Structure 1
Amino acid sequence: MSLVATKIPEILLENVEMRYQTETADVLALHQVSLDIAKGEFVSLLGPSGCGKTTLLRLMADLLTPTAGNVTVAGKSAKEARLAQKYGIVFQSPVLYDWRKVKHNITLPLELMGVKKSVREDKALELLDLVGLQGFADKYPWQLSGGMQQRVAIARALSMEPEILLMDEPFSALDEFTRERLNEELLSVWSKVQSTIVFVTHSIPESIFLSDRVFVLSPHPGRLSAVVDIPLPRPRTAEMRNSPQFFELIARIRDSFEGV
């Protein structure tokens, strides 16, 4: 059963375009993208390299401003939502500070907000338990595996209890075994925090396993070529990856790509 709580859009994009000026040309990266994401929904932005997935995520996060169209988050502009701290962001690289202990990496946003040390410490332990890293609070990032570092990054993004978690290919640098395990752990975390999650990936199986819906982007310029509902029951299990329905969804998404 999906965790979608309501059909009222938490994130709404209307005819969004993004152009970049280069020395030699005016490049259209995204062309008239319109989509809506419900509160509590887990969606993936799927497509090949260069199709504008990360650009689209950055527009939602107010890290970029569209050259045309509108981005609305929780009824506010993307800028208003950012200033209201509705976002948590996890990038492809964990971006941890090697000289800070794991717990201090997690609580950095709280520290910058002036939250009391005792509250920060309690929050760090709570989040480490949530992402399965009990006992690692006093370790340093360089003492952890890549998968463990990415779990720390997820915990840090959750430290401000964001309504929306934006994830930009967070597992793409990991081996397939670690990646699949972290997919399962991410769903476990999501079931507890119930944030809206927008997940960027170029992996069709990953997008199917994680999502309620998959937004398929095609390149040159990036545009929305399909929206695919994922009817697999929740909680998702590793065995589902070998089911006929899973392979049917893979084929359906492959057939939906344009210009690839």
Structure 2
Amino acid sequence: MRYRTEGSEVVALHQVSLEVGAGEFVSLLGPSGCGKTTLLRIMADLQQPTSGVVKIAGKSPKEARLSQKYGIVFQSPVLYDWRTVKANITLPLEMMSIPKAERNRRADELLELVGLGNFSDRYPWQLSGGMQQRVAIARALAIRPEILLMDEPFSALDEFTRERLNEELLAIWKQIQSTVVFVTHSIPEAVFLSDRVFVLSPHPGRLSAVVDIPLPRPRTQSMRNDPEFFRLITEIRDRFEGV
């Protein structure tokens, strides 16, 4: 992926090649400016690469998007303040002309899944940041995507809330059995969540390492104190190039 700025050219991504398996939880990890969000946006058909090929379950990103293959969760929840929590979740279903009864049924199921069953009639401004992000996750899941793309969804939250939502996300993933591609700049977060971590280094953005995470599942809070957890963090930190 190349950008032209004021007569010069910036290479955001260079020769990045990777494959993600069905049902896998992987993280794109790297510092600011390494191209991890750009790579996710290319997967999501929000940006077009200047060269190379991307396939989503055998389809082009555009074909995958039009066939509702994936849901997206951004760094900011991007909720509509004038719509209730439930109405925010049902919005993509309204756009797909899903019958109202089915929209409500899915929304109720998802509210229970993300632990907000008692907040359906609240408005986003009445919720904490962590609760708003759970609403955003529920909305992304409303279309029952095969793939969930997540762009640093917890980076704006305090560490305690972030770690709790990491555990909740894994519980949700276990139930929905979707493929997850998760962007983060936090090494501990990537290790805790992932089956594999793709380490991206900047200038230009490139894939510098792929690290398997052999920690057993389900992942628990106590695992953060395990020597193997710290070993994996150290291994990934040592893999960064040009940082």
- Specify the alignment match of 1:187 in structure 2: 170
- Specify the alignment match of 2:43 in structure 1: 60
**In structure 1, the residue corresponding to 2:15 is in which secondary structure?**
strand
CA distance in structure 2 between the partners assigned to 1:154 and 1:24 by the alignment: 40
Q: What amino acid sits opposite 1:197 in the alignment?
A: V
TM-score by length of 1: 0.93
Task: Answer yes or no: is 1:111 the counterpart of 2:111.
Answer: no
Task: Answer yes or no: is 1:71 the counterpart of 2:68.
Answer: no
Aligned positions of 1:44-193 closer than 5 A: 44-193=27-176
- Specify the alignment match of 1:208 in structure 2: 191
Q: What amino acid sits opposite 1:181 in the alignment?
A: R
The alpha carbon displacement at 1:144 in A equals 0.2
TM-score by length of 2: 0.99
**In structure 2, the residue corresponding to 1:36 is in which secondary structure?**
coil
CA distance in structure 2 between the partners assigned to 1:115 and 1:78 by the alignment: 23
CA distance in structure 1 between the partners assigned to 2:79 and 2:59 by the alignment: 30
**In structure 1, the residue corresponding to 2:219 is in which secondary structure?**
coil
The alpha carbon displacement at 1:117 in A equals 1.2
Cα deviation, 1:137-177, whole Å, max 9, x if unaligned, reads: 00000000000000000000000000000000000000000
Higher relative contact order (CA 8 A, sep 6+): 2
Q: What amino acid sits opposite 1:213 in the alignment?
A: R
* More displaced stretch, 241-250 vs 111-120: 111-120
Report % sequence identity: 78
Q: Which runs of 5+ in 1 are unaligned?
A: 1-17
CA distance in structure 2 between the partners assigned to 1:175 and 1:24 by the alignment: 40
Q: What amino acid sits opposite 1:185 in the alignment?
A: E
**In structure 2, the residue corresponding to 1:132 is in which secondary structure?**
coil
- Specify the alignment match of 1:257 in structure 2: 240
CA distance in structure 1 between the partners assigned to 2:147 and 2:98 by the alignment: 21
- Specify the alignment match of 1:231 in structure 2: 214
Task: Work out the number of aligned pairs and report it.
Answer: 243
The alpha carbon displacement at 1:23 in A equals 1.6
The alpha carbon displacement at 1:24 in A equals 3.1
**In structure 2, the residue corresponding to 1:165 is in which secondary structure?**
strand
CA distance in structure 1 between the partners assigned to 2:230 and 2:172 by the alignment: 26
The alpha carbon displacement at 1:192 in A equals 0.2
**Runs of 4+ more than 3 Å apart:** none
CA distance in structure 2 between the partners assigned to 1:24 and 1:249 by the alignment: 42
CA distance in structure 2 between the partners assigned to 1:127 and 1:78 by the alignment: 26
Equivalent residue in structure 1 for 2:200, among 217, 223, 226: 217
